[in-house]
Structure 1
């Protein structure tokens, strides 16, 4: 059984930011997260859960920037957790070993994909129950409720966490994914039928075009949109965030 405890609160530029900790029954440290909401007029607004990329954290500029678009532009609530071994969460010996192996492969010019896929799958096994518990707790808040639509937005490692989460979570009604290998995730993607928007970099030096397309093709969604841009792995255009906001507005507002 998990419980959610708010630990701090601030308001700026029409956005209410609340840090929280998701606590379980064990003596393990709680999971830190953040909830962004409109400062006023947010009763029963849709919720978008986000997951950050590898090496980042819950308030990374990519996360806070996307949240700002959704809160200020759409009136939505947005929540992010620090992934295991990231942000304010301590690294385990397993984390350190996998990161060291990644850096070794990178220095040697070897493919990073097999290491990243393996490590991300491990992190997803830990993070998916945490995201489900967070959704349970957030839906108890009167400004969110149990009857509102829920979206998910995660790129890179956020996709590695998000695909198994969405595959297991019927409350999510629309999702934005992208930039990950199909290994492990393709079988889970076959169980996802909600609307999907998927980002792919055509010149990605880590994920081949064939691998990116294979993951997109695996989703069983009747409505799925592939957004392909030229550029390398870290060159996803910022305008894709605007597209994702339009996607969530279309699907979550209609559902509400």
Structure 2
């Protein structure tokens, strides 16, 4: 789960950025939770009360407690260096004043889907969020694979097959157990018997996907509407 806060006193700007973030989450099959704030005071009080966000899109030109002040209080008063702050503004003149806050990025309005995508990509890359482990039992031993090594999972009766570039590893388990570990981490359930890593899908069709290793897997009726929506957005983007 990635938690992102958006703070701007313009309701329209907040709505636009939130929609762009949710579009990104849908296309990347990630679980992202967003929360909107319209004042720096409310945002800071929420963070001060231990509500945790990994990333903040923060407008500089806020009334009373502006974005720069919010950032300094997060860094200096709370001593929090973990939150990544992305400043947004209609002016470029603030760049030097942001040095002490150590922001992840500085974006000029109007914000676009491309810049939001690139910013979240950068956040994920720098925080290594996609380098997660998948644990499973074989006999009495616990095995581990990196999620980004896995092409897809296939259910074969009471066994789960893990398909990777190195071959197939099999263990006893259920697809629900797999979902609990991979939910929101770039994997899509396309069928009751298949969960695919979206990074290894090379061709998308209405009723099937082709993986980078050439394997063709069916998309069941239950998941076609969601996949169609995701793919429409993906092709529009491209």
Larger strand proportion of the pair: 2
TM-score (norm 1): 0.37
TM-score (norm 2): 0.39
Q: Which has the larger radius of gyration?
A: 2
